[in-house]
């Protein structure tokens, strides 16, 4: 994977961290502020972008476009299931950290008679990957605010 998008992500998160190191007083309790939900220095939400890359880190990346918010993996073969392979595309649709701002499309193929043939992806796979990415993005945002 090219190093430029990772550098841009690090810079975007560093910028977000720099502005989030203060706290407000609410009565006697100290309330931590959340980091901004919109981080756009790379053309898309940096938390969602980083979370998507982290989630797919076990797969090799075929293509990334941080401005367009697209990540496409190469075909991945799990060593435990050598007759099956998966490919994943992630689209980040908004600059805000929102539940509907990320879409995952997974493709699955089975090896039959020496040929790879398309087959259906297990129900809920795309949704589960979206949930994982969203949770990681929320965690990144919380950690940015705590720093």
pLDDT, averaged across the chain: 81
Asked if residues 57 and 132 have their Cβ atoms less than 8 Å apart, the reply is no
- The pLDDT value given to residue 43: 76
Question: Is 97 a residue whose pLDDT tops 80?
Answer: yes
Over residues 1-21, the pLDDT tens digits come to: 344 444 344 434 443 434 433
CA 70/CA 67 separation, integer angstroms: 8
DSSP codes of every residue in 20-39: ---EEEETTEEEEPPPPSB-
């Amino acid at each position: 994977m090219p190093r430029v998008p990772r550098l841009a992500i690090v810079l975007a998160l560093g910028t977000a961290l720099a502005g989030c190191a203060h706290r407000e007083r609410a009565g006697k309790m100290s309330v931590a502020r959340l980091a901004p939900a919109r981080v756009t220095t790379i053309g898309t939400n940096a938390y969602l972008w980083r979370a998507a890359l982290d989630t797919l880190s076990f797969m090799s990346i075929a293509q990334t476009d941080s401005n367009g918010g697209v990540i496409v993996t190469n075909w991945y073969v799990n060593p435990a299931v050598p007759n099956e392979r998966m490919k994943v595309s992630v689209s980040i649709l908004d600059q805000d950290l929102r539940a509907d701002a990320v879409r995952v499309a997974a493709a699955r193929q089975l090896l039959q008679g020496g040929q790879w043939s398309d087959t259906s992806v297990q129900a809920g796979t795309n949704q589960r990957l979206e949930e994982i990415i969203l949770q990681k993005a929320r965690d990144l945002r919380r950690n940015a605010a705590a720093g």
